[in-house]
Amino acid sequence: MWRPRCDGAVLDINLRCETSEPIARELKARGTPILAVTGYSTEQRPLVFQDIPTLTKPVHEAGLVARLLHCLAE
């Protein structure tokens, strides 16, 4: 079965009534680089996000682009 693929992902952890945790798990299993964006402290993040590079809100465009390029280069 064909599965769509992406080069990298920027995930906001909190999606109102749920989190992006299932998406992060699937992307990690595929080896896709992930950059998380959140207002959560390190202790509040779901375990799947503990080793994912994270930007804290509010996010500035230059910082987002720089971190995303870094993630894609790894």
40 phi, psi to nearest 5 deg:
-70, 150
Total number of domains in the chain:
1
What global pTM score does this model have? 0.83
> Residue 49: inside a domain, yes or no?
yes
Q: How many angstroms separate the CA atoms of 71 and 74, rounded?
A: 5
Residue 69, pLDDT > 80, answer yes
Q: pLDDT tens across 22-61, in order?
A: 999 999 999 999 999 999 898 999 999 999 999 999 999 9
Its domain, for residue 58, covers 9-73
Per the CB < 8 A criterion, the answer to whether 55 and 37 are in contact is yes
> Residue 4: inside a domain, yes or no?
no
Supply 50's token pair.
């503990």
> Residue 3: inside a domain, yes or no?
no
CATH of the domain at 65: 3.40.50.2300
